[in-house]
Amino acid sequence: MRRFIKVSINLSLLSVTALLLAGCGSPDKAVTAISTDTTEQAVPAFIGRPAVAKSIDGLAYEHPFMASPDQATIHTDSYNSDVHRNAGVLGKNPEVITRLGPGQPFGGMCSTTTFDKDGYLISLCATFVSFQLHLMDPNTLELLAVHYLPSRPTTFEMIVKADPGIAMTDTSGGAYHYMDNKDRIVLADSEQSITRIGHRKNAAGQWEFYEDGRWDMTDVVPDDCFNWNNLLPSGECDPISAVLPDAEGNIWWATRMGRFGALNPETGENIVSRFWAESREGAAADPEKQPEEIQNSFASDKHAVYIATDHALYALRVDADDKSIEQLWKETYDRGSEIKVGAINQGTGTTPTLLGDDYITLSDNADGLINLIVYRRGLDVEGEREICKVPLFDERGSATDNSMIGWGRSMIIENNAGYTNAFQMTDLAHTPGGVMRIDIREDESGCDVIWRSRERSLSVVPKLSAANGIIYLYGPDILEDGNNAWYLKGLDFETGETVFKIHTGVGQFFDNNWAPISIGPDGTTYVGGFKGLTAIRDKP
């Protein structure tokens, strides 16, 4: 057995070396388009009609320590509303531009895109061996600067074990980062450090990234991870997966295995805690000391930070003495009896979403049909916090692993049932798809299903433009020859009607693989994908 392990690791190290050679070196600033598959079937470039803008009222929280709520995170803001106040593409003579990601000629996924005050794109992109921050021109997608981040240990493990699922179920490395109020990216890297990174033009007039703060977290977060330089780990590995500030400026962080805390960036002091499950099905040892897992990011408003584990939803804050974390309330939900296809753990697949001043929503993991749940989030709530629990989708499949859109009293959620990742599946015909809009009643007596759509939007983080009333989805139309034709899809917020579809490409390279849609200040609508980044804009 030892001999087999040694041989396997040596062979895999050769593969890693080859990938390193492909993914390192000076970044290629030239814009290379993503290649599309050929198909015998004609694929229309545009389906439907140009949309007519109809604005929608709602509340955007201006976080004092974050960039504009239109551009600060993968979910746009600290509410995880997935709403842009600026208008996205309307389908008027649309133009599609693609850029092959890092590690050319192989490309690489761009998983999160934010924007600075001047509209420049900052994308977290990845090759097989590294995460990189890319500063890009919003018009041409030209690469202006690159910042290399440490590779994730799971990347090495994925290659050694030839199992892409290992990396695809790891949410660490920086995807759940945020842009602060000074145009700096704040993220947790794979060396267990929280890092603050700015960008500027140097004396030669060239763009560059620079480090503007680093906090070593290894004293509070274990990092004995299986990696090329640590082949026989004996301890625990628990990378930080998400960071977000509270209203006092503390940087909150969370790990997969239930650790969380609040870092004061001024003093470097860290308040640390952990979620422990009271019981856990199938636990091998000491069921009273099994951690609750955190799959996604979390939310923040002026009162609290809201974290969902695979057991419950929590409202938390740093206490008045800045010495400990106070639990304001807790709501358990139905976590079902198993992990659903494509999910990371046996819990909610959604980052919690805040609506206005009063509500918070997430999905559960109930057997059969999962449910959307809405709670009152105030500190002093009389009676039950739960307002409604609405079954989602149908018997063909019911699962979601993306935060829902939340605006006003409305929530829009997509069905991700049957999808895992772009590495492991290309046959998407069996996926049921589906999108629903659900509204909270004004008297808070419950919630109502407003409409249902049969569109496939299998893994994208969807967005709503409050300026034009269009819900942006991304997904495949299945062609007769079995190929997947990928489209940006615009749905009417009021009716759920598919107004237009804009074709981006055919085949696996255009699978968005859990990346988001992002709307730039000029209306250009971006889709991260398996091999890079796609930009769609209306031409005059």
Q: In the numeric block, which tokens belong to residue 248?
A: 């006092």
pLDDT at 41: 86
pLDDT of 343 reads: 79
Give 321's Cβ-side CA count (13 Å radius).
3
Could you tell me the pLDDT band of residue 29, with boundaries at 50, 70 and 90? Answer: low
pLDDT for residue 279: 57
pLDDT of residue 128: 67
Gap between the Cα atoms of 106 and 84, Å rounded: 32
Query: Does pLDDT of 325 surpass 80?
Result: yes
Give the β-pairing of 484-492 and 498-506: antiparallel
Phi, psi of 517 (to 5 degrees): -90, 140
345: confidence class by pLDDT, cuts 50, 70, 90: confident
What are the structure tokens assigned to 19, written together? 């990938």
Query: What's the one-letter identity of residue 514?
Result: W
Are the C-beta atoms of residues 101 and 125 closer than 8 Å to each other? yes
| Greater pLDDT, 322 or 297 | 297
| Model confidence band, residue 12 (pLDDT cutoffs 50, 70, 90) | very low
| Full-model pTM | 0.92
Instruction: Give the amino acid at 170.
Output: D
User: String of b and e for 240-250 (b: at least 16 CB within 10 Å)?
Assistant: bbbbbbbbeeb
Specify the DSSP element, H or E, that contains 18. helix 2-23
Instruction: Report the distance separating Cα 343 and Cα 334, nearest Å.
Output: 15
pLDDT digits (tens, 9 = 90+) for 489-504: 999 999 999 999 999 9
**Residue 299 has what pLDDT?**
98
Could you give the percent of the chain with pLDDT greater than 70? 91
Whether the per-residue pLDDT at 15 is higher than 90: the answer is no
Range with lowest mean pLDDT among 13-17, 127-131, 231-235, 508-512? 13-17
For residue 151, the model assigns a pLDDT of 83
**Confidence band of 25 (pLDDT split at 50, 70, 90):** very low
Give pLDDT tens digits for 184-212. Answer: 999 999 899 999 999 999 999 999 999 99
Q: What's the confidence (pLDDT) of residue 101?
A: 86
User: What local confidence, expressed as pLDDT, does residue 461 receive?
Assistant: 96
If you average pLDDT over residues 42-65, what whole number do you get?
95
- pLDDT beyond 50 at 21: no
Looking at residue 96, its pLDDT comes to 97
| pLDDT, the chain, mean | 89
Helix (H) or strand (E) holding 23: helix 2-23
Model confidence band, residue 170 (pLDDT cutoffs 50, 70, 90): confident
Q: How confident is the model at residue 17 (pLDDT cuts 50, 70, 90)?
A: very low
Check pLDDT > 50 for residue 284. Answer: no
Residue 28 has pLDDT above 60, yes or no: no
pLDDT in the model for residue 18 = 37
Is the model more confident about 329 or about 321? 329
**Dihedrals φ, ψ of 11, to 5°?**
-65, -40
Give tens-digit pLDDT for 361-392: 999 999 999 999 999 999 889 889 999 999 99
Question: What is the pLDDT at residue 27?
Answer: 54
Higher pLDDT, 160 or 455: 455
**pLDDT band per the 50, 70, 90 thresholds, residue 23:** very low
| Mean pLDDT, residues 343-370 taken together | 95
Do the beta carbons of residue 384 and residue 329 sit within 8 Å?
no
What does 63-130 look like in DSSP terms, one character per residue? Answer: -TTBS-TTTSSTTSSTT---EESS-----SSEEEEEEE-SSTTS--EEEEEEE-TT--EEEEEE-SS-
Question: Residues 276-290: what's their mean pLDDT?
Answer: 62
Does domain 2-538 fall under CATH 2.130.10.10? My reply is: yes
User: So what's the pLDDT on residue 49?
Assistant: 98
DSSP-assigned states of every residue in 415-450 = --TT---TTT----TT----EEEEEE-TTSS-EEEE
